[in-house]
Structure 1
Amino acid sequence: MLIGELATRTGVSARLLRYYESQGLLRVRRDINGYRVYDEDAVTRVRQIKALLGAGLSTEQIRVVLPCASGENPRLDLCPELRELLEGQLRAVDDRIEQLRRNRLALEGLAGEVRV
């Protein structure tokens, strides 16, 4: 399928599909006329990328994770390296949440001072 059809079927812009390709996340071949041509499995791959981006992974991390992904949700086969990467991501998210809690408390304190 051509890039326009893949964009329509996945809800991802052609520009973003080209970005995924440049990041090594999406395989493409060129037709004789130079057009990008995607295999049917590209639809699933793009949906996997969207799900992983939605989980907060960077494209660099997704490049590591994609070989372990299957299905559109995706389901991951956890090898030790992948488990370590995901656990590190979870720790980073927990750290950000804690920092936001501290920021919120500080803002509440300032707001209390402003209201006086």
Structure 2
Amino acid sequence: MKIGELSKLSQISIRMLRYYEEAGLLAPKRSVSGYRQFEIADIERVKLIHKLNSAGLTLKVIRKILPCWQHQNKKFSPCKEFKNGLSDTLLKLDEQIELLQQSRSHLISLLNEN
């Protein structure tokens, strides 16, 4: 299938699909005329990539953990790389939460100074 059809079936924009390809997350074959040719399994693959990215994982981390996904079974089994990537992402989120809480406290103290 061509990129437009993959976009419709996966509900992921063509622009994002090209971005995933540039990031090494997709490797479509090319037709003689140069068009990208995607497989049926790529539909679930791009949905998974989008879901993981929306959950806060970087594309670099996703590229490392994609081998955990067994596309023939449409199953995602947590492997060591996935767990490590998830742990790193959780640590970063905790750091961001702490910074936001500090910012919030500073703003509240500024409001209470009057």
If the length of structure 1 is used for normalisation, what is the TM-score? Answer: 0.87
Please say if residues 65 and 79 of structure 2, whose CA atoms lie closer than 8 Å, have aligned partners that are also in contact.
no
Query: What is the aligned partner in structure 2 of residue 69 from structure 1?
Result: 69
| Counterpart position of 1:46 | 46
- Is the contact between residue 7 and residue 13 of structure 2 (CA under 8 Å) also seen in structure 1? yes
Q: Residues of 2 paired with 1:95 and 1:70: CA distance?
A: 32
The equivalences for 1:1-116 within 5 A come to 1-70=1-70, 75-79=76-80, 81-113=81-113, 116=114
Q: State the alpha-carbon separation in 1 of the partners of residues 42 and 52 from structure 2.
A: 15
Aligned counterparts of 1:6 and 1:112: Cα–Cα separation in 2 = 54
Identical-pair percentage: 38
Q: Which runs of 5+ in 1 are unaligned?
A: none
Unpaired segments of 5 or more residues in structure 2?
Answer: none
One-letter code of the match for 1:29?
Answer: K
Offset at 1:75? 3.0
Q: Is the 8 A contact 1:28 1:36 kept in 2?
A: yes
Code of the residue aligned with 1:28 in structure 2: it is: P
CA distance in 2 between counterparts of 1:77 and 1:96 reads 25
Ranges of 4+ aligned residues in structure 1 off by more than 4 Å: none
Alpha-carbon distance change, 40 to 13 in structure 1, aligned in 2, over 3 angstroms: same
